């Protein structure tokens, strides 16, 4: 068996802890973001309909385009 020096031993422990933290983040944190939906549903007022593209006003007062 190979003897590890003080620095190599703690470097190995630090690397293992970093790898474990990466696995935890990959399995716990990233699936959490999948719970936040990209689709936002809101009742809006249609300002204009130009050849199938509706211009609407949202609650944040920023006009949006909806392609039909």
pLDDT in tens, 7-58: 999 999 999 999 999 998 888 877 766 777 677 788 888 888 888 888 888 8
> Does one domain contain both 19 and 5?
yes
Token code pair at residue 63: 């006009």
The total of structural domains in the chain comes to 2
Domain that includes residue 68, residue range: 39-68
Token code pair at residue 65: 């385009």
> Does one domain contain both 31 and 44?
no
Task: Give the C-alpha separation, 21 to 25, whole Å.
Answer: 6
* Model pLDDT, residue 43: 87
Task: Name the pTM for this structure.
Answer: 0.43
> Does one domain contain both 6 and 27?
yes
* Model pLDDT, residue 66: 77
Task: Give the C-alpha separation, 21 to 7, whole Å.
Answer: 21
* Model pLDDT, residue 9: 92
Task: Give the C-alpha separation, 67 to 41, whole Å.
Answer: 15
Contacts 24+ apart (CB under 8 A), 9-16: none
């Amino acid at each position: 068996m190979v003897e590890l020096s003080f620095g190599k031993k703690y470097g190995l422990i630090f690397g293992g802890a970093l790898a474990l933290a990466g696995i935890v983040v990959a399995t716990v944190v990233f699936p959490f973001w999948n719970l936040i939906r990209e689709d936002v549903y809101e009742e809006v007022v249609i300002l204009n309909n130009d050849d199938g593209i509706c211009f609407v006003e949202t609650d944040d007062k920023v006009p949006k385009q909806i392609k039909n």
